[in-house]
Structures are given as C-alpha cells and as structure tokens.
Amino acid sequence: MIVTEPLWSAGEIAHALGGRTSGRWLADGVAVDSREVIPGDLFVALPGTQVDGHAFVAEALEAGAAGALVSARDLAGIATDDPRLIRVDDTAKALHALAAAARQRMSGRVAAVTGSAGKTSVKEALRRALGRDALAHASARSYNNHVGVPLSLARMPRATRYA
C-alpha cells in the first residue's frame, strides 16, 4: 500500500515535543544516522557514547533532510534561526515523545512478537499478510532497543491500520 500523505509537519513535531520551530516543512521519514538520510527525512541528532549526532546535522540537511531535531545549543555551520531546526532540551527524550505521539494518533491494532527465535520472520509474515488489505507497519530492522523502538514508531504512517 502506497502512502501519499506526509509523516509529520514541522508544527506537529514541535507541538508533540514542546519544541520550537519557525519552519513550515513536511517530513516523509525519520533518520538517526546522517548517512541514511533520504530527501524529506527528519534527522534526529542523538548523542552517542562515541559520536554526537549534532556533528552531522549540516551533513544531514545537505543530504536533503527536511528538518532536524536538535538540542538547544549552537551547531557549527548552521544559523541559530534556521527554520529547518526544531530545538528541544534532550533529543533522545524527544524521539520517545515523537514515538508516543505517533502511537496516540494510530487507532489501529498493535501486535508484539516475543520469543528467543523467529521473531523477524513472524514480524515480516504478519506485515505482509495484514498489509494486503490495509496499511501495515513494522520495524525496518531488528530495532528492539531504546533507539530502535521509538524510531520505528516515529516512522509509522498516520494511516497505519496494523502495527
């Protein structure tokens, strides 16, 4: 099933997160790795143990990111009033809040697959079977950690009937 409406507007993101933006852009996806940004994505600059995503905001925007979710600090090479930025206190918490907003706007059915073996195969079988008649969303990879779960939810199209 093809999704034609945008995933998020800058205003929806800022409202869901209590952040600030002056931009009026639309995001079609969400990325946390600047090397995986495709045009139209929202880039979430997450701090890491080795590398801080804020160092790659300019690169993500150059790659076509519609906007970036950043913590309230100066970024090298980017104007502080750039309308593509949504500033929050903590980008990791903001990603979780965006995931919660995505889950709240979804009125369909949700399934969880657990166990020690075969989860990915079952997840894909469910997505394909349920996706025949309605929009079904599943994580793109084995995203079962503190970044992957909220990322998967934040990427969930608003018209999703099964997740």
List helix spans (H) across 9-160. 10-17, 57-62, 91-105, 119-130, 148-154
Provide the token pair at 62: 């150059």
Q: Please give the single-letter amino acid code of residue 154.
A: A
Query: Quick check: 15 and 37 in contact, CB under 8 A?
Result: no
Residue 72's pLDDT band, with cuts at 50, 70 and 90, is: low
Encoded amino acid at 163, one letter: A
Give 96-153 pLDDT, tens digit per residue. Answer: 999 999 999 999 998 888 888 888 888 778 888 888 888 887 777 666 667 878 898 8
Residue given tokens 């139209």 in the structure block: 40
* Residues near 98 by beta carbon (within 8 Å), at least 6 away in sequence: 8, 13, 16, 17, 30, 69, 150, 153, 154
pTM over 0.95: no
Q: List the beta bridge partners of residue 44.
A: 69
CA 69, 104, 136: angle at the middle one, nearest 5?
90
Quickly name the fold that domain 8-91 has. 3.40.1390
User: Cα separations (Å) of 23 from 65, 66, 155?
Assistant: 13, 10, 20
As a whole number, mean pLDDT of residues 13-22 equals 86
User: What confidence category does residue 3 fall into, taking pLDDT thresholds of 50, 70 and 90?
Assistant: low
Q: Break the chain into its structural domains and give their ranges.
A: 8-91, 106-154
